[in-house]
Amino acid sequence: MMSKSTIYGIPMIAIVAFALLALLGVGMVLYAIFGLSDTPPQEAVPPTAAWVTVAPPSATPAGLPTQTSQPSPAPAKAVPATEAAPAAAASTPATSSADGLGPTLRAGQAVNIRGGPGTEYPVIGGLQPGNDIPVIGRDSGGSWLVIAYAGNQGWVAKMVVSVNGDTAGLPVVAAPPAPPAAAPPPAAPTAAPAPVVPAPSSAHGIVGTLSLCDARTTYSVNDRICVIEKIYNSTNANVEYGILGVNAANITGGPSWFQSSWTGTLSLAPGCTGPVGTCGGQWDDGFKLSAGTYRFTLDICYSSVAACQSGGTWETLTAPITVVVQ
């Protein structure tokens, strides 16, 4: 017979404890279901994006920290082979002479440029001393050199210039046709052409002549007065001299003028005509004068230039030519 403190042999207190535990478990389950359902849902926060640079292969050595402040620039685009710039072709420098100009000439004093290889050709210009001028040709004899002048060709006597370089290999330039003899212009009505008077005797064996290029003796102040100078060595030896020029003596009281046509250590070979070189023929020169009446003579000094300028041995080779400048 079971007592009241047990039910089916199970103590009453155990049954009560089990029931309490069961109720407690059911209550916790209900709280979890209904109590948590009252909590408002939380807004989902999107994950924060972070820039991560992935280095291209072999662009950054291993072990360096990754930069996260800014995105890394994209790797440079590889240029296909067809877009690559071609390699520059190797250039071969042009050969040149030692001075880069070839043969050149230089005048030691004012030198005429003519239209052909000879004094019979007209003067088309002049060279000033101190300039190196390229030589582009020569005549068949090599005594006249060709230069480029005023868009054309000019001819310079080789004996009156110094030459740098070998002119033997230059091309031979054919001489232009000789100019026809020009008819002299009519004489000015106020004055007759002055005759060329034979040169006075020379103690040094030099015979000189002086003439005007124009058949007139009256000029304006701005006119260029052209003269032709010629000396001849009548001896059997070289004649040395330092200065040759035209003395224009003003006989009306104004200033006179001496045109130094040739200066230096000069000589004239036996039986030769100068003053061009030692046997190069006559020379023409020109100058302008102020108003007045002048007497032109061809004068020579047989001393050095320095001695001639302070005295020296002078000689007048020609009779005077009277010229009026107005």
Q: How confident is the model at residue 285 (pLDDT cuts 50, 70, 90)?
A: very high
Whether 251 has a pLDDT exceeding 80, the answer reads yes
Q: Is residue 308 part of a domain?
A: yes
**Summary mean pLDDT of the chain:** 79
In three-state secondary structure terms, 207 is strand
pLDDT confidence of residue 52 = 44
On the question of a cis peptide bond just before residue 270, with omega within 30 degrees of 0, the verdict is no
- How many Å apart are CA 118 and CA 178, to the nearest integer? 9
pTM: 0.42
Q: Is residue 77 part of a domain?
A: no
Q: Same domain for 130 and 224?
A: no
- At residue 273, what are phi and psi to the nearest 5 degrees? -110, 135
Of 24-28, 253-257, 258-262, the one with minimum mean pLDDT is: 24-28
Convert the pLDDT of each residue in 29-57 to its tens digit.
777 676 555 555 554 444 444 444 444 44
- How many Å apart are CA 129 and CA 237, to the nearest integer? 30
Please work out, in degrees rounded to the nearest 5, the angle formed at the alpha carbon of residue 203 by the alpha carbons of 202 and 204: 90
Q: Is residue 264 part of a domain?
A: yes
> CA nearest 301: which of 202, 190, 235, 223?
202
The amino acid present at 169, given as its one-letter code, is: G
Residues spanned by the domain of 230: 206-325
Q: Is residue 147 part of a domain?
A: yes
Q: Same domain for 237 and 299?
A: yes
Q: Same domain for 212 and 160?
A: no
Convert the pLDDT of each residue in 105-159 to its tens digit.
999 999 999 999 999 999 999 999 989 999 999 999 999 999 999 999 999 999 9
Q: Is residue 299 part of a domain?
A: yes
Backbone CA torsion sign across 112, 117, 119, 125? negative
The CATH number linked to 256 is 2.60.40.10
Q: Same domain for 117 and 211?
A: no
Mean pLDDT of 182-196: 64
- How many Å apart are CA 12 and CA 24, to the nearest integer? 18
Report the percentage of the chain scoring pLDDT > 90.
Answer: 56
Question: Tokens standing for 55?
Answer: 């280095």
Total tally of structural domains belonging to the chain: 2
Q: How confident is the model at residue 8 (pLDDT cuts 50, 70, 90)?
A: low
Q: Is residue 247 part of a domain?
A: yes
- CA of 77: how far to CAs of 56, 59, 74, in Å? 12, 13, 8
Tokens 């030691």 locate to 108
The CATH number linked to 154 is 2.30.30.40
Question: Tokens standing for 57?
Answer: 């292969």
